[in-house]
Structure 1
Amino acid sequence: MIVYEKDDAYVLIAQHDHARISGDLASAWRGELFGGEALRDEMTRAAYEHDASWLELDRVPLWNDAAGSPYTFRDYPGNIRFVFYERALDDLQRSSEYAALLGSILYTTLAERIRNEDTVPFVEREFARQSAIIEKLGVDVKLLQTHAKALLLCDELSLFACMEAPGTNRSRYEWFAGGFAYWFGPPGQTTLAADWTDEHTIALAPYPLMREVETSIVYREVSKADVAKWGISEAYRRATPRKHGLLFRQAR
């Protein structure tokens, strides 16, 4: 679950809904980076499916007593989440080994950011999965690295859209205040900037997409009074899902 706090409420965004935004971005990525339409389809699928592991975990949000707020994807117990990560990758691998390979690379990249006693065995198992798929498919490793970096950027741009209230100044983001690592521009162009221009529009510079991307943030706003009355799980169940329109475009 992605969570940010307001004065009187928590805003909760399910991980799979965030992944849908990253998939919408991936589907619009410039074609010359892919090496063929088949690989474009696999990368796009990896983007849409990369958080399928959270479908069950996010169905009933949990309360973090230590933080005094709902658990988020950042602090959710690793001994639980990594079981679901591996199960989702196993399921995806049965239908698309390349998409599972990309999903595994994304998971290990993110897991190493929060390295602890739970991440080490997970990362080691996923490195073994990655090596086996690369060998089996005879993967072009350089092209794979390009796809993995594009997937990571789509994931991070979607997180940018969801981690704070729409319209938040980039300087207030813990992870993204300095922009995003960018590997697709000319020499010297190593950072992409993303900024809200209004509450519905994010402008990117440089722009790695073929077109503007219209999508939406699906969320539930759960009042703190309801949490105190019913608990986070029941308060979340009672909250009405809402949709916030979102546009990614090139900075002017």
Structure 2
Amino acid sequence: MIVYETENAFILIAQHDHARVSGDLVSAWRDELFINCGLREELIYAAYEHDRSWIDLDRIPIWNDAVNSPFSFRDYPGNIRFFFYSKALDQLQSSSEYAALLGSVLYTALAEKIRNEDTVPFVEREFARQSSIIERLQVDVKLLQMHAKALILCDELSLFVCMEQPGTPRERYEWFAEGFQYWFGRSGPSTLIADWADERTIELEPFPFSREVESSLPYKKVSKDDIAKYGISKAYERETLREHKLTFRRKN
């Protein structure tokens, strides 16, 4: 679950719904990412499905007493999280080995950032999965790295629209105030800047997509009064699912 707090409520966004925004972005990427590789649909599939491990975990939110907030993907217990990561990657691999490879690269990059006793066995298993798939499919590692970086960027852009209220100035973001790593410029690695133009429009510079990208983000706004009255699980269940329309466009 992705969670942020307002004065009177918590906004809860299911991870698999956030992944749909990532998929919409990857689907619009400029064609040079896919030239002569035959992997366009695999990469798009990986983007839409990369957070399917959270489908069951997000069905019922859990309260974190330590911070007086629902558990989010940032603080969810690792022993549970990484079990579901592995389970989802097994399922994904049965449909698309290349999509599972990309999902594994994404998850291990995250796990390495929060390295602890829960992440070590997970990372070791996933490195073995990656090596096996790369060898079996004879994957072009440079192409894999480019696809993984595009997936990570689109995942982070989707997090940008989920982690704070729409319209929040970039400078107030804990993770993205300085922008996003961008590996696709002709002069080498640089920075992509994202800013809200209004409460539904995000402007990007540089712009890696072939067109403006329309997407939508389902969410629930759960009041603190209802949480106090019913508990987080019942309050979440009672709340109606809402939708926020989004447009990603080139900065004017």
What is the TM-score normalised by the length of structure 1?
0.98
Q: Which residue is equivalent to 2:151?
A: 151
Amino acid at match of 2:104: S
Partner of 1:137: 137
Deviation at 1:35, TM superposition (A): 3.3
What pairs up with 1:167-182 in 2 under 5 angstroms? 167-182=167-182
**CA offsets, 1:5-27, max 9 Å, x none?**
00010000000000000000000
- The offset of 1:189, in angstroms, is 5.3
- Matched with 1:244 is 244
1:122-155 CA-partner distances (Å, limit 9, x unpaired): 1111011000000000000000000000000000
Distance 2:188 2:43 in 1: 26
Report 1:226-237 matches (<5 A). Answer: 226-237=226-237
Letter in 2 for 1:74: R
Deviations 1:37-82 (A, max 9, x none): 7311100000000000000000000000111100000000010011
Segments of 5+ residues of structure 2 without an aligned counterpart are none
How many residues are matched?
Answer: 252
1:86-133 Cα shifts (integer Å, max 9, x gaps): 011000101100000000000011111222211111111101100000
2:82 corresponds in structure 1 to 82
Deviations 1:166-224 (A, max 9, x none): 00000111110000000001215510000000000000000000000111111000000
Separation in 2, partners of 1:201, 1:189: 26
CA distance in 1, matches of 2:36, 2:227: 49
Task: Give the Cα separation in 1 of the matches to 2:239 and 2:8.
Answer: 14
Question: How far, CA to CA, are the matches of 1:174 and 1:114 in structure 2?
Answer: 16
1:166 aligns to what? 166
**3-state SS of the aligned residue for 1:222?**
strand
Return the alpha-carbon distance in structure 1 between the equivalents of residues 45 and 35 of structure 2. Answer: 16
Residues of 2 paired with 1:189 and 1:108: CA distance?
Answer: 22
Rounded Cα–Cα distance in structure 2 between residues aligned with 1:24 and 1:37: 20
- Give the residue type in structure 1 aligned to 2:122: F
Deviation at 1:156, TM superposition (A): 0.2
**Aligned positions of 1:11-160 closer than 5 A:** 11-36=11-36, 38-160=38-160
Change over 3 Å in CA distance of 1:91–1:59 after alignment to 2: same
Query: Do 1:179 and 1:193's aligned partners in 2 also have CA atoms closer than 8 Å?
Result: yes
What amino acid is aligned across from residue 173 of structure 1 in structure 2? Y
Contact 2:181 2:189 in 1 (8 A): no
Counterpart position of 2:216: 216
Contact 1:52/1:88, CA 8 A, preserved across alignment: yes
Structure 1 runs of 4+ with >4 Å offset: none
Per-residue deviation, 1:36: 3.8
